[in-house]
Structure 1
Amino acid sequence: MDIEILSERENPLLKRREIVLRVVHSEGSTPTRKSVLERLAAIKDSKPGLVVIRKMNSIFGKRESIAHARIYESEERMRQVENPHIVKRNVPSEQKEAS
């Protein structure tokens, strides 16, 4: 799986970075949100708990997907801004057990 960042924008009002990325998955099926989230966190030097994959759509006929992600400065800010179902979808499993 290769990740190419198409655009990145700083949003100081909401204290986050908004990223549009292309995920190329040459072998196998579409990667999971968790694997894309972890790879993006590693690329952007952030904690996986602060990264939210807002949406991820596969492109018909190609082995690539377009994803919209947000990287927050703090977990508290993420929970204030994002909808609860989006937060639940993106929180790593070890954090779910601790909550």
Structure 2
Amino acid sequence: MKIEIEGKKKNPLLERTEVSFSVEHERASTPTRDEIRTQLAGTLGVKKDTVIIDRMNTEFGRQLTKGYAKVYDSVESAKKFEKEYLLARNKLEGGESQE
């Protein structure tokens, strides 16, 4: 799995950085949100708990997934600004990370 950052934009008002990315996953299934969060956190040099995957889209027949993520300055900022269903998808619901 190879991840590439396509764009990055700082949003100081919402205490986050917005990231567009693409993931090549040759001869493998679409990676999970958790796998992408881990890889993205490593690439950007941040904690995994501050990365929220907003959306991912894999085109039919291609081994390329494009997505959009939000990297918050802190976990508290993520819980303050993100919707509950996105926190649940990214395993940050209930005030604590469920890893």
Amino acid in the other structure paired with 1:41: A
Q: Following the alignment from structure 1 to structure 2, what is the Cα–Cα distance between the partners of residues 50 and 91? A: 11
Q: Following the alignment from structure 1 to structure 2, what is the Cα–Cα distance between the partners of residues 30 and 90? A: 16
Q: Provide Cα deviations, 1:9-38, integer angstroms capped at 9, x if missing partner.
A: 000110100001011000210000000000
Alignment partner of 1:18 is 2:18: yes
Q: Which runs of no fewer than 5 residues in structure 2 stay unpaired?
A: none
Q: Following the alignment from structure 2 to structure 1, what is the Cα–Cα distance between the partners of residues 97 and 18? A: 23
Counterpart position of 1:31: 31
The TM-score with structure 1 as length reference comes to 0.91
Q: Following the alignment from structure 1 to structure 2, what is the Cα–Cα distance between the partners of residues 63 and 43? A: 20
Alignment partner of 1:3 is 2:21: no
Q: Following the alignment from structure 1 to structure 2, what is the Cα–Cα distance between the partners of residues 77 and 35? A: 22
Identity %: 36
TM superposition shift of 1:62: 1.0
Counterpart position of 1:87: 87
Counterpart position of 1:96: 98
Q: Following the alignment from structure 1 to structure 2, what is the Cα–Cα distance between the partners of residues 60 and 7? A: 23
Please state whether the residue corresponding to 2:13 is helix, strand or coil. coil
Please state whether the residue corresponding to 1:26 is helix, strand or coil. coil
Q: Which runs of no fewer than 5 residues in structure 1 stay unpaired?
A: none
